[in-house]
Structure 1
């Protein structure tokens, strides 16, 4: 059998497309069987996958892998199994008043063969999540794994080959050149999760084939502490959201907007909370490593460069960095300036700038003047203020009085807006992303459509005037 990174990608795509054409509209039993096969991949090999992710990162707490990858993966499968049969049903209704007694329906039709490009930060969940949606929608799928998680990528390819029929899901490994070739294939839909920078290249490659894309990117997701927030709660949830997976999360809080008088209070509370969440930090095995040497060096330069340019670094623990293990002590950055790289780039690590404001409208204007983020975290109790912020800001998704958890809601689509992404998925929204909602107009046997045929006489003009008046 070919190695996953040595496949002839165009030939493999054509093979799946040919097989899909033989069964273009799989019934529910076929889709459910595929979902259960994916469930077996995750549930039966949980230990192996956690060990592979741990080895790829250098250190990744098993607890975080279970909480942030295994649980949402299994939950997504369970949700699809519970609701997918209903999602498949055509949505029927009456035609517009002027066309009665005709009827309409929307038929969810599988797109065909879907491509999924997986990032390195959550290699299990960001493989399984979109795969669930593509399979429940009745598609065949090709998945390109990240070269930065080689152990997990190879294991996932082997497990999928073991649990699925070879004409259902194909997992591809390999380096960036393989990824580039993958993005240029004429899929029926392509989903990419990763950086905005790479997203440009993926979209450019897909455009050569007019391939529809869903781009899940990132950006600088703000946490905004309002005047009437439960302050200590806000600090705890922001620190949690920033430090799980050592901040290597596309929706991690990237910076904090807070009242100017509360900066020192935030720093003090954050240090206490970090000590409570990660006691004996220097020896704590529940704090993740930075995944690659390149990313570790980048984060160190963002931090040290900000300090050289006048920012203040306030570590949340006294433990030193451990470069050989890629363990980076979490740090608050105060007195940051807009022109610093740490305020220009998505951080994607355990560095947290604090940006003070004098009025809530000033904070809102700051968010609105920057590229639209993937997430917004608002901590506030006053509903009028909450509505004010939501009305004047854009973000792919919002969590009120918490961080991260909006991504785990199957009834909410997950996706970006503008620079942070295109389209969304999860749950029924994902089913629709990977389906063509085919519109069907069904004319009744006895109807008045012929009255609008030429030649256009007096009766036609009278009927047209009636239609125009009614809109």
Structure 2
């Protein structure tokens, strides 16, 4: 696989090549469909290589998790784009009102030009190719900067996209944070960034130099509220999937759980049962993903050490040899009971297999706790009572919500995916992404005869017409 790093000084040439080609030949419907079909076919054929590359970057990652999260999601999104693209590209008629009759108006989606994508390491194919495919569907050319923390997957993407697209239509640039900063500060027509809130602020500041429109997919502390009526065995099963898929290295993973006080211990027991059923005694951990690198591993261990120093209960839901854990960067699913708000793991996005379980006396207290924090990227509500769910939805603003489950709103093509406030800006997936990466061009078609022909001095001649218009 290729391992070619791009000098930030070379970016202007890359971008100008993309822009010149786009200006000379803006992609038609047929070209866009052909591009998407070739991308789909190439990725489908190379799914085994994709999973191998991701596993090598993580030290170990469940092959099935890679196929689901980085394979299925991309193929599904491309299928959705192909099915809907012709309809999305049609102009949409807009009423003009009787004052402007007989003029006609419409909006027509036109490509923006060159779209940048800066993708992260946690789902390195999904979060690179879904925005890229959407930008292609919208008729743009694309420059992709994948994460330097997954170099083998970045090389896989470089080779894959190089085989599918000509260099003047899609460019993959590889490098570290300096290259990402240079790309964010380049004159792009739109930029999609997925990453942390802290880096998102830097990206936004860099993009402001050229007033580049942004889609920022950030993070934050996504809560799960288990209401008093919901069965704990079912809640535990769905929380376990959401939290320990990819070892919790998911931007929309439940970051902490709020459960009524009398059932807190029972929920912990149910979560422990889920871990045993899924991973056994951890002697065989093929289905459990490792922490991506040493820096992230030590950060997570630091959270647990701080909690223990403060006397906060830390419950490891499985036992594993410490030396093996260090060697493999493996952290077993871990519960932290009622951590104080000033602990680092309650201040920062956890992004790992550690789950705080916090007791609350009533739903009002739970809602107050969530409302006291930044608006989250995701919210999970567990209740079988529709009025209770509506009460939660009526009081908390989040980037997206799944009711009585976790993660799945991300996978629904028709739902926009995006954050709000510190958890993000803008949205993509499906129509939302197509519209974000297009200019909705307003066009007014005037007729041969128009009342505006009469709107000129001396206005005394049209006093009657003005009274009609102003009524």
Output the TM-score relative to the length of structure 1: 0.96
**Structure 1 equivalent of residue 375 of structure 2:** 372
Deviations 1:437-461 (A, max 9, x none): 001111122222233333322733x
The structural deviation recorded for 1:466 is 3.8
Partner in structure 2 of residue 5 of structure 1: 6
Match among 431, 446, 451 for residue 443 of structure 1: 446
- Which secondary structure state, in structure 2, belongs to the residue aligned with residue 258 of structure 1? strand
Structure-to-structure mapping, 1:304-323, within 5 angstroms: 304-321=305-322, 322-323=325-326
After TM superposition, give the deviation of residue 100 of structure 1 in Å: 1.5
Give the superposition deviation at 1:159.
1.7
CA contact (8 A) 1:111 1:435 kept: yes
Alignment partner, residue 422 of structure 1: 425
Q: Does 1:328 align with 2:323?
A: no
Which of 382, 386, 389 lines up with 1:386 in the alignment? 389
Q: Which residue of 1 aligns with 2:411?
A: 408
Structure 1 residue 161 displacement after superposition: 0.9
Partner of 1:46: 47
* 1:12 CA drift (Å): 0.8
Provide, for residues 25-74 of structure 1, a one-character-per-residue CA deviation record: whole Å limited to 9, x for no partner.
x2111001111121133111111111010000000010000111100000
Distance 1:131 1:416 in 2: 19
Q: Does residue 233 of structure 1 match 2:234? A: yes
Residue 235 (structure 1) shift: 1.3
Contact preservation (8 Å) 1:94, 1:102: no
* Paired position in structure 2 for 1:91: 92
The answer (yes or no) to whether the contact 2:184–2:206 under 8 Å persists in 1 is yes
Which residues of 2 match residues 321-360 of structure 1 at below 5 A?
321=322, 322-360=325-363
Cα 1:465–1:338, aligned 2, differ >3 Å: closer, same or farther? Answer: farther
Partners of 1:468 and 1:363 lie apart in 2 by 53
Q: CA deviation at 1:231?
A: 2.2
Q: Distance in 2 between matches of 1:457 and 1:238?
A: 73
What is the CA–CA distance in structure 2 between the aligned matches of 1:52 and 1:378, rounded to whole Å? 35
1-structure distance, mates of 2:442, 2:381: 39
Q: Could you tell me how far apart the structure 2 residues matched to 1:257 and 1:394 are? A: 17
Three-state SS of the structure 1 residue aligned to 2:221 is: coil
Shift in Å, 1:160: 1.0
CA-to-partner distance for each residue in 1:353-381, whole Å, 9 max, x for gaps? 01211111111111111100000000011
Q: Secondary structure at the match of 1:353?
A: strand
- 1:144/1:179 contact within 8 Å kept: yes
Unmatched 5+ stretches in structure 2: none
CA distance in 1, matches of 2:18, 2:298: 41
Question: Structure 2: how far apart are the matches of 1:333 and 1:288?
Answer: 20
Using the TM superposition, name which of 226-235 and 267-276 deviates more: 226-235
User: Which digits, 9 at most, give the CA deviation of each residue in 1:283-331, with x for residues without a partner?
Assistant: 2210000001000000000111112112100111123450110010111
Q: Does 1:433 align with 2:436?
A: yes
Q: Which residue of 2 aligns with 1:176?
A: 177
My pick for the range that moved more, 298-307 or 276-285, is 276-285
Task: Confirm or deny: 8 A CA contact 1:184 1:209 kept in the other structure.
Answer: yes
1:140 lines up with 2:151 in the alignment? no
Does the 8 Å CA contact 1:260/1:358 hold for their aligned counterparts? yes
Query: SS state of the match for residue 458, structure 2?
Result: coil
* Aligned 8 A contact 1:256 1:353 in 2: yes
Aligned residue number for residue 222 of structure 1: 223
Match of 2:263 in 1: 262
Q: Provide, for residues 378-429 of structure 1, a one-character-per-residue CA deviation record: whole Å limited to 9, x for no partner.
A: 0011111111111110100000000000000010000000000000000111
Find the counterpart in structure 2 of residue 160 from structure 1: 161
1:20 paired residue number: 22
- In structure 1, stretches of 5+ residues that fail to align are none
* Cα distance, 1:333 vs structure 2: 0.4
After superposing on structure 2, the runs of 4+ consecutive aligned residues of structure 1 that deviate more than 6 Å are none
Query: What SS does the aligned partner of 1:65 have?
Result: helix
1:4 and 1:171 in contact (8 A); partners too: no
C-alpha spacing 1:146/1:98, structure 2 compared with 1 (3 Å):
same
CA distance 1:354–1:447, change in 2 (3 Å)? same
Distance 1:106 1:3 in 2: 42
Tell me what 1:189 maps to. Answer: 190
Cα distance change, pair 360–153 in 1 and its aligned pair in 2 (3 A): same
- Normalised by the size of structure 2, how large is the TM-score? 0.96
Give the C-alpha shift of residue 145 in structure 1: 0.9
Matches of 2:94 and 2:175, distance apart in 1 = 48
- Contact kept, 8 Å, 2:215 with 2:426, in 1: the verdict is yes
